[in-house]
Amino acid sequence: MNRGRKKIGSIGVDSGGVIVGDPCYLRDWKANEFDVVDGDEYCGPYTYDYDGSCRARLSEDAAGELGSQLAVAVTSGYGDGQYDVFVEYEDGRPARLIVEFMPKEEDDRGAWGTEEERARWQS
């Protein structure tokens, strides 16, 4: 049974942000261009496309919902790069998805969890 936090992989970022959503809606995604207009205010609602994801990430919150609950977009902490992704389990079921843009040096369990957890994350 899965317990605690487990690294499930990494994601590469080349646009300075990520989106999270159900893959069954990808057929509705529009791979359009980000249309920059001087003086634009970036406030929602945001469309479910690349332009909407850019606008959400440029908003005051640096994040936002795309479409009507189709996905969320968020700016990565350090821009482009590779970021670790973790799942936290409760009762053997995924409880949280964590994309770590800015790793903490320590958390409430010490320097990234117990020695056993760190060993599992490295595998």
Alpha-carbon distance values, 56 to 39, 76, 119 (Å): 16, 12, 36
Cα–Cα distance, 99 to 86 (Å, whole number): 6
For residue 117, the model assigns a pLDDT of 52
Cβ count within 10 A of residue 89: 15
The pTM for the full model equals 0.75
Which positions of the chain have pLDDT values less than 70? 38-39, 105-123
For residue 72, the model assigns a pLDDT of 97
For residue 120, the model assigns a pLDDT of 52
Alpha-carbon distance values, 106 to 16, 38, 71, 77, 109 (Å): 25, 42, 30, 18, 8
